[in-house]
Amino acid sequence: MAGYQRCISLALACLSLCHNSLAESTACTSRANNFAHCIFLCRHFPDRAPNTTDLQEWKQFLGAPDPNRRIQSFLKPSELGRVKAVCTDEGGQQYIDNRWSTNLCISRTPFDFLTVSTTQDSKTYRIRRERKKHLILACENVDNICLPTHFQPNWENKEPDANAKGCRGGTNYG
């Protein structure tokens, strides 16, 4: 729980970082909530998150299971630049899935990350190390910068389409 309490300080730090990030995206949708990227950072790059699959450390970090967030994915802080790059033509491709939003992009390269989930009764944590999976992210225009704002699970282990346009609608770098 302590890690999530630090989200406010991360959100404030994020405001200054957002302006120094990626160029404006024509494929990104406008975002009324300019804190969406900061919320994404708090959820997937939380301050002082354990860098282990040790269940006890994660229980201590997360506190009591949250029935509203039964599945949570955590990325390595060292991968933040690559994650943001998914929202560029070089790092990501447009991902079309009619069941979800149209502002999704899939990473051109796979990532390793941790997924922490709770059982149906929200009483027990489980940890799974995801290896070599492509990220599917919602990329939105936040203060005229294309940034990730949502992590979409890649249950079917989808890969980028060799013929798809870049995330911002430009050249296919595949």
Q: Which domain holds residue 137?
A: 2-54+79-111+133-152
Tokens 């729980």 belong to residue:
1
Q: Does 23 fall in a domain?
A: yes
Q: Does 167 fall in a domain?
A: no
Q: Does 128 fall in a domain?
A: no
Q: Does 104 fall in a domain?
A: yes
Total tally of structural domains belonging to the chain: 1
Checking if the pLDDT of 22 tops 50, the result is no
Give the pLDDT of residue 16.
39
Give the pLDDT of residue 173.
61
Checking if the pLDDT of 92 tops 50, the result is yes
Cβ contact 158:95 at 8 Å: yes
Task: Give percent of the chain above pLDDT 70.
Answer: 78
Among 7, 9, 20, CA closest to 143: 20
Question: Cα–chain-centroid distance for residue 171?
Answer: 23
Q: Does 120 fall in a domain?
A: no
Q: Does 127 fall in a domain?
A: no
Question: For residue range 46-73, what is the model confidence (pLDDT) as tens digits?
Answer: 999 998 999 999 999 998 888 888 899 9
Q: Does 72 fall in a domain?
A: no
Cβ contact 49:3 at 8 Å: yes
Q: Does 126 fall in a domain?
A: no
DSSP track, 47-98: TT--SS--HHHHHHHH-S--TT--EEEE--GGGHHHHHHTTSTTTEEE---T
Against a cut of 0.85, is the pTM above it? no
Average pLDDT over residues 16-28: 40
